[in-house]
Amino acid sequence: LQQRRGLRLSAPAAIQVTVRDALNQALDEELERDERVFLLGEEVAQYDGAYKISRGLWKKYGDKRVIDTPISEMGFAGIAVGAAMAGLRPVCEFMTFNFSMQAIDQVINSAAKTCYMSAGSIAVPIVFRGPNGASAGVAAQHSQCFAAWYGHCPGLKVVSPWSSEDAKGLLKASIRDDNPVVMLENELLYGVPFEMSEQAQSKEFVIPIGKAKIEKHGAHVTLVSHSRPVGHCLEAAAVLAKEGVECEVINLRTIRPMDIETVEASVVKTNHLVTVEGGWPQFGVGAEICARIMEGPAFNYLDAPAVRVTGADVPMPYAKILEDNCIPQVKDIVFAVKKALNI
């Protein structure tokens, strides 16, 4: 009516939300929506979470919905998997995915394979979530990316958010999914604010698992990444734009199932491909993308070999200067793009 009278209505403004708060919102909304959902892990309840992701949830939902566990990943992951088989929808938090190695038998052999081995009669609707990849100054046993590890395993879905919208939409989709989902967050992104649209502020906002997002359109080279390196790709794209190189930046969002169609369509347009990841090079996410492109129709459109930018092939050093040289930086992406374009 106001529009008919010629009054100009402004669209609701997007707001700035940190990744931490987006995850907290998603957990709060799903705990409220479905009484089968519960959260368990080390320090998630009274302490509000090691990274304050679960802040306020224990006070709101109580001991039966937000559960502190002993420091025993195999134990509480096993309890969570059993609860999922019995009809609940647990969210199992690992303080870091490096510690999920203690529980990998539960994640792979118990959660991922049960639906197939039971001929579809037993679903395991569980989310394993927590920080993944390099943080800052925490050395080799706390700085590994497990995207390739978990992405290797059939029966799992694996998501890897970058922005606040990614984090909220993917976590809500993961909790509602009837399959086991591994959600690989990044500790260094928790405090970073991103713009969140009005749509993303809705309680029914979900991001489909298995669908990538083009963060920036371009015509000269395709940059494919996930998690924190997506931001580095956008920074590199801004640097290269000053030199007349227009990069198309793809945020994978999901590692398994991988949206290779979006990557293929971009490569057909740009004729060049650079993959960027924080994990190790051998058998990595970038290696899989390159193989899939080589095996598919987009290979014939490549004007140069694909280039991978990865973490260094070493356990993560503790010293900051060495750590910086083990993690892909903006300059490394710029160098790789120029190599791919032969400029």
Give the active site residues: 73, 142
Other Cβ atoms within 10 Å of 82 Cβ, number:
15
Q: What is the DSSP-derived secondary structure letter of residue 242?
A: T
DSSP-assigned states of every residue in 187-229: GGGTT-EEEE-TGGGSTT----TT--EEEE--SSEEEEE-STH
* Cα separation, 306 vs 280, whole angstroms: 17
Q: What is the DSSP-derived secondary structure letter of residue 308?
A: E
CB 284 within 8 A of CB 252: no
* Cα separation, 100 vs 183, whole angstroms: 12
Decide the pairing of beta strands 273-276 and 254-256. unpaired
Which residues lie below 8 Å from residue 28, measured CB to CB, with a gap of 6+?
56, 57, 60
Of 258, 209, 218, which is closest to residue 239 (Cα–Cα)?
Answer: 218
Which residues lie below 8 Å from residue 137, measured CB to CB, with a gap of 6+?
318, 320, 323
CB 250 within 8 A of CB 225: yes
* Cα separation, 92 vs 110, whole angstroms: 14
Of 164, 163, 253, 251, which is closest to residue 201 (Cα–Cα)?
Answer: 164
* Cα separation, 328 vs 117, whole angstroms: 40
**Which backbone phi and psi does 270 adopt, to 5 degrees?**
-95, -25
Facing residues of 214 across strands?
Answer: 250
Alpha helices in 111-214 (DSSP H): 113-117, 147-151, 164-176
